[in-house]
Structure 1
Amino acid sequence: MIDHYDWAGGREAMLRFGPADGPVIVAALPLFEEANRTRTFVVALLRALAERGIAGALPDLPGQGESCLATEKVSLMDIRDGFEAACARIARPVYALGIRSGALLDTLAPAEGRWHFASQSGPELLRELKRMAPAAASLDDCWWAAADVTEIAGNRISIAILSALEGVTPFGPEDELPLRVVRHESDPKPADLKVPGSPLWRRAEPDNDPALAALLADDIAAWVRACEG
């Protein structure tokens, strides 16, 4: 079902999946190019959750996806405000699902808990963006500072977002809300669960992994039911 939510900057679309009652998983795609590479997979994951009796939602966040706002016109706070508004639109218990840098976007969400897959910090994302920006190869860590907007992998990105990413990290275990972190087996960072498979965001073209989507849906469904008591 296609739904919508309103935030201070306008109205954005939101896909809805699954039953009309019970808790809802609200997903945040990674920022910028990785969103294109993971969207089909996240839709498959939310559909798999619906088959397990858990509802889901995938909002278009300000300046991302099919948003009417250009990426270069939004700040990190705008995107976080959009995710908060999408969660607030749902009058049911909400759990935030963050993929990669999507785990940086749920800080304001009225969520009962957070489930992060391969979560990434702001500085880690900046390092990856620098590798994709040919003109930045010989510059220092503030390689974007010479302009108000820079283009990376076809995305015109505001300097406000890049500057804000310098010091942000996903919520950690010290957060008061339930948090579960899942990573690939190839990822050396600590996690509550390690799963097989190759990172979709590393592939040359957008792709899907139905087996991984089913595995993660099993984990999310069990985790949500445990949180709900």
Structure 2
Amino acid sequence: MTGGLASTGMTGLRFDTYDWNGGSEAMLRFGPDTGPIVIAALPLFEEANRTRQFLVTILRALAAKGIGSVLPDFPGTGESIVVTCEARLHDQREAYTALAQQLGSRTYAISIRSGALLDTQATLAGRWQLAPQTGAELLRDLERTRNAATRTTPAADREYAGNILCSDMLADLREATAYAGEGPMRIARLDTDPRPADVAHPGSPLWRRSEPGNDIVFAQRLAIDIAQCMASCES
């Protein structure tokens, strides 16, 4: 991996960077650097803010079980130097694939919601998805949010929940689906969600809240599920 590590003073959390064809992006590291490692993908756009603390809680719980992970920015997300209005899904997928290649063959994906759209081109030891979305479903959610907001404040033609999206990104998302190829895959959903899943858990749909939140008990339960899934792949 490229980039220097800088300790935050919090046990098990370090700053790092990774390279892809378009430059360098930041990421957080949790837990050990050896053994199997997880790439964690937040949902795209506003849901990332609502679920970041929750996902960090999951990664800390995995670190306590001896499982390392990274929480990367992708082009156009987080602190990326690529602005949101210039982001393209294929660049985000390319960056994800480059990171997976750098981390090695014992790399696993965990994702929340539209984060499942990012790992489709990567070679991974396994995938775990929480309430995965298609790009079309994401766009419908963005449109609903946009319509609610524009009742009081008009938005620009391509403004969705404060994000200006280029027409190419919108086109990318209309056709985007999560990975459906070979290899270990586990889909988790809330127990209130009737769609097919490998496991259903009681918990809070934090991505639906108006403000960022957390559900520690739910996060710890999911960390157990992820660790068991990885252990079955490693055995």
Task: Identify whether the pair has TM-score above 0.5, normalized to the shorter chain.
Answer: yes
Describe the superposition over 1:64-91 as per-residue Cα deviations: whole angstroms up to 9, x where unpaired: 0111110111211011111112222213
TM-aligned CA distance change 1:123 to 1:221, over 3 Å:
same
User: Which residue is 1:161 aligned to?
Assistant: 169
Q: How does 1:167-206 map to 2 (within 5 A)?
A: 167-172=175-180, 175-206=181-212
Give the conservation status (yes or no) of the 8 Å contact 2:204–2:215: no
Give the conservation status (yes or no) of the 8 Å contact 1:28–1:103: yes
SS of the aligned residue for 2:175 comes to coil
Shift of 1:135: 9.0
Does 1:45 pair with 2:53? Answer: no
User: Which residue is 1:108 aligned to?
Assistant: 121
For structure 1, the 5+ residue unaligned runs are: 138-145
User: Which residue is 1:55 aligned to?
Assistant: 68
Shift of 1:131: 0.7
SS of the aligned residue for 1:130 comes to helix
Shift of 1:136: 10
Distance in 1 between the 2:225 and 2:218 partners? Answer: 11
Aligned partner letter, 1:168: A
Q: How does 1:75-154 map to 2 (within 5 A)?
A: 75-91=88-104, 93-134=106-147, 150-154=158-162
TM-aligned CA distance change 1:227 to 1:132, over 3 Å:
same
Shift of 1:103: 0.4
Size of the alignment, in residue pairs? Answer: 219
Distance in 2 between the 1:7 and 1:72 partners? Answer: 19
Aligned partner letter, 1:204: S
For structure 2, the 5+ residue unaligned runs are: 1-13, 151-155
SS of the aligned residue for 1:133 comes to helix
User: Which residue is 2:16 aligned to?
Assistant: 3
Identical columns (%): 53
User: Which residue is 1:65 aligned to?
Assistant: 78
| Alignment TM-score, normalising by the size of structure 1 | 0.91
Shift of 1:184: 0.2
Which of residues 209, 225, 233 is equivalent to 1:227? 233
SS of the aligned residue for 2:16 comes to strand
